Structure 1
């Protein structure tokens, strides 16, 4: 089933449909969170909160594109920002703020840059064909080998290898064109 169908069913209350969406996107969401936070435990928490928030907000939600990933990325970014604020509050309450202000501001700047990059990648991936998007997710996000991805998708090993090469080139081009 495609994302649009799964989202509609999940919005109507289908836990099975939401579970399918979770399985499809938990790894990309985790890696986005990890990229923003740099801590696996916090990334797991943020990924979990992202899907809890998505489940709560799904009622009445209409998918504007073919993929749920851009919406989940946005939720993930907000959850990661909340986690950063929570860390900062905890640090401020448990220490005497020995970290220099410059380091804190550069951390925030890097998080903004990383979040922007993650959003641009998600947008570029969303523009791929469904097969190319599946190849990208399986190989680049989930780390499957060409053979495993080919078997999962029912296409030739060489097709996966060649298409992934073109996908990466297309994404690099799209990201360099949108870099300010």
Structure 2
């Protein structure tokens, strides 16, 4: 059964989605992405974050499609539930970032100016050396340290297996350690 516009009905989309048909994912996105985006923009107040959340919802839904049962409820409701979780995750990340920034601010205010200058030099050096690491290691390390993402979150966002993310992180840290050791040896 199809609608007047030629798109499949919500029930047909849900059935195809559960069966893993990619055209049903596309139809689900056309039908419910505006709803997900609207929920995200209202909760987050930022269109970039809302777009990211919308993408994450559909990626998560597709990856977890085996848990969707069309007989248990509508696909739109299931997607809305995933959206609520992704929005809550983004709000928690913002809260964590504010706490971290406040803690850094308090720490910076408590340290003497000379120590801050040394730390600034170290951070700039670290950022420069991080830029020299090959992809995807650079992105994985940045997400882990600058965005405070866990390895499972990074794997999810980059669509990589968890073991691959861990391996890249380990090798990237070893590479970074070796590069920093060379810089330290050159400075001596």
Q: TM-score, normalised by structure 2?
A: 0.47
Pick 1 or 2: higher relative contact order, CA cutoff 8 A, min separation 6. Answer: 1
Query: Which one has a bigger Cα radius of gyration?
Result: 2
Q: TM-score, normalised by structure 1?
A: 0.49
